[in-house]
């Protein structure tokens, strides 16, 4: 049995469910612990009764340490702060031998068990960003990405996890400060700081918009998951795929099927709810005089990835 955990609120519900459904499609021996970060997502998930899924409310997760620092964090920063607590709660509460944290905007194309099995005798698995050189943000955002991380419930694994949880409670903000950034820069020195930490070697895990430029999608490698970082649905039936250079093949292979799946899930949720489709649609920001300059810059870099929804729903 492979145990996974994730967290999201109702604004991320369609992406979280797309991740779950892609995992279920390729895995036959797994369980996902979902931490619902608002009441809407909690009640909807309970009503949907997905197989192989346990839903935990924010009320159940939050302890004194988390509640004390909650007012000092934005919603996003609080999610980052809670990431190690979510993993620890899953293992402690459900007596798991190991647990793998998944970002809600991952999408699986094959069974991730192969990534976890690569750990062998190690206690912790982390994944590199593997930045394309032009997008290298290692100095500010970290060498490793908090996207797919496995912890074993053993001495070395719990030592790392407890240290990380305490560090995130102490400081976890969306800014670079004193060598820290969010929950992520803390991972940079784990190979030196701790024993039993393994860095994923399989290049099929961790394909993302900041590194996909390095991949030939026709190469013979097993793609395990793609990270849909900064995928946003906008008002006016528009979709932003982020500010990285994405070739047509990448959009066809990854973003079009993902958009279709997201929309299908949203329609299903709307039938249950009668009103909302839970895409977390963003309002367009007010016009700024620098907007045309930013548009030209992104066009020149082939990174203006804002599409009408129907373009991504085309075959």
For the chain, domains (ranges, CATH) are 2-207 (3.90.550.10), 230-242+251-313 (no CATH)
At 276, the pLDDT band (50, 70, 90 cuts) reads confident
At 300, the pLDDT band (50, 70, 90 cuts) reads very low
Tens of pLDDT, residue by residue over 180-207, are 999 999 999 999 999 999 999 999 999 9
At 128, the pLDDT band (50, 70, 90 cuts) reads very high
Taking the C-alpha atoms of residue 195 and residue 149, their distance in angstroms, rounded to an integer, is 16
- Rg (alpha carbons) of the chain, rounded to whole number: 19
Whether the per-residue pLDDT at 120 is higher than 60: the answer is yes
Alpha-carbon distances of 65 from 47, 68, 82, 86, 167, rounded to whole Å: 31, 5, 11, 13, 12
Identify whether the C-beta of residue 90 lies closer than 8 Å to the C-beta of residue 3: yes
- Report the pLDDT value the prediction gives residue 294, as an integer from 0 to 100: 45
The SS3 assignment for 129 reads: coil
Element (H or E) spanning 102, and its range? strand 98-102
Cβ-in-10-Å burial (0-12, 13-18, 19+) of 52 comes to middle
Alpha-carbon distances of 4 from 29, 45, 87, 94, 262, rounded to whole Å: 11, 16, 9, 12, 21
Of the candidates 47, 49, 70, 73, the residue with the CA atom closest to the CA atom of residue 58: 70
Identify whether the C-beta of residue 38 lies closer than 8 Å to the C-beta of residue 10: yes
Taking the C-alpha atoms of residue 84 and residue 77, their distance in angstroms, rounded to an integer, is 13
Q: What percentage of the chain reaches a pLDDT higher than 90?
A: 84
Per-residue DSSP letters for 172-187?
Answer: --SSEETTEETTTGGG
- Report the pLDDT value the prediction gives residue 304, as an integer from 0 to 100: 62
Tens of pLDDT, residue by residue over 148-160, are 999 999 999 999 9
The SS3 assignment for 49 reads: coil
Q: Which stretches of the chain are DSSP H helices?
A: 13-26, 39-48, 58-61, 64-69, 75-94, 113-117, 138-141, 155-170, 190-193, 248-250, 256-273, 291-300, 309-313
- Give me the phi and psi of 292, to 5 degrees please: -60, -35
Whether the per-residue pLDDT at 41 is higher than 80: the answer is yes
């Amino acid at each position: 049995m492979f145990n996974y955990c994730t967290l999201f609120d109702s604004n991320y519900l369609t992406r979280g469910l797309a991740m779950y459904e892609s995992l279920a499609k390729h895995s036959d021996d797994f369980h996902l612990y979902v931490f619902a970060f608002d009441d809407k997502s909690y009640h909807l998930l309970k009503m949907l009764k997905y197989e192989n899924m346990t839903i935990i409310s924010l009320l159940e997760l939050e302890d004194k340490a988390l509640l004390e620092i909650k007012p000092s964090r934005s919603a996003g920063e609080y999610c980052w702060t809670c990431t190690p607590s979510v993993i620890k709660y899953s293992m402690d509460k459900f007596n798991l031998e190991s647990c793998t944290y998944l970002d809600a905007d991952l999408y699986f194309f094959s069974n991730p068990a192969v990534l976890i099995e690569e750990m062998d005798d190690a206690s912790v698995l982390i994944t590199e960003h593997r930045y394309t050189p032009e997008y290298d943000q290692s100095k500010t955002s970290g060498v490793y990405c908090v996207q797919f991380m496995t912890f074993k419930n053993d001495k070395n694994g719990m030592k790392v996890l407890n240290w990380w949880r305490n560090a995130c409670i102490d400081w976890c903000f969306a800014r670079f400060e004193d060598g820290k950034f969010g929950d992520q820069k803390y991972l940079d020195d784990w190979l030196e700081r701790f024993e039993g930490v393994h860095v994923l070697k399989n290049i099929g895990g961790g394909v993302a918009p900041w590194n996909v430029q390095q991949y030939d999608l026709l190469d013979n490698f097993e793609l395990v998951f793609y990270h849909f970082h900064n995928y946003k649905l906008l008002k006016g039936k528009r979709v932003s795929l982020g500010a990285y250079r994405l070739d047509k093949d990448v959009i066809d292979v990854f973003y079009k099927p993902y958009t279709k799946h997201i929309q299908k899930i949203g329609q299903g949720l709307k039938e249950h709810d009668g009103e909302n489709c839970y895409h977390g649609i963003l309002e367009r920001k007010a016009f700024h005089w620098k907007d045309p300059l930013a548009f030209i810059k992104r066009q020149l870099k082939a990174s203006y990835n804002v599409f009408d929804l129907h373009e991504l729903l085309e075959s």
